[in-house]
């Protein structure tokens, strides 16, 4: 829950195109624009996917309640995730 709040504050609120829209105005294209913006601003693929998950939960809740008639995430794929390779210093 704390991570979700952090995702919203750090990665969703700063995106200008999300400032004055409603869920009915959210589209796959807008979500993909956010993903590109986040990547350009140095957000890792893993974090982008975490934020997408945060957004999906809220949107799926509204879709399940039939308050939104479509799922804008239906055609949104996850960001490429290049996990960092951990290196260990050998001590002799």
Structure confidence by residue, pLDDT tens digits, 7-25: 889 999 999 999 999 989 9
Instruction: Indicate if the pLDDT at residue 1 is higher than 90.
Output: no
- 59, part of any domain: yes
Residue 52 lies in a domain: yes
Find the Cα–Cα–Cα–Cα dihedral 19, 24, 29, 34, rounded to 10°: 30
The pLDDT value given to residue 88: 65
Number of structural domains the chain divides into = 1
Least confident of 27-31, 38-42, 49-53, 80-84: 80-84
Residue 92 in any domain: the answer is: no
Q: How confident is the model at residue 3 (pLDDT cuts 50, 70, 90)?
A: confident
Asked whether residue 91 is domain-assigned, the answer is no
Q: Which domain holds residue 32?
A: 2-64
Q: How many angstroms separate the CA atoms of 4 and 1, rounded?
A: 5
**Mean pLDDT to the nearest integer, 67-84:** 88
Residue 55, domain member (yes or no): yes
Furthest CA-CA distance within the chain: 63
Residue 74 belongs to a domain: no
């Amino acid at each position: 829950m704390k991570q979700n709040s952090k995702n919203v504050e750090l990665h969703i609120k700063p995106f200008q195109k999300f400032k004055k829209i409603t869920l009915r105005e959210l589209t796959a294209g807008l979500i993909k624009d956010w993903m590109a913006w986040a990547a350009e601003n140095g957000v890792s693929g893993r974090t982008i996917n975490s934020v997408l998950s945060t957004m999906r939960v809220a949107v799926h809740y509204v879709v399940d309640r039939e308050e939104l008639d479509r799922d804008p995430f239906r055609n949104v794929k996850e960001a490429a995730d290049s996990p960092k390779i951990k290196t260990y210093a050998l001590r002799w």
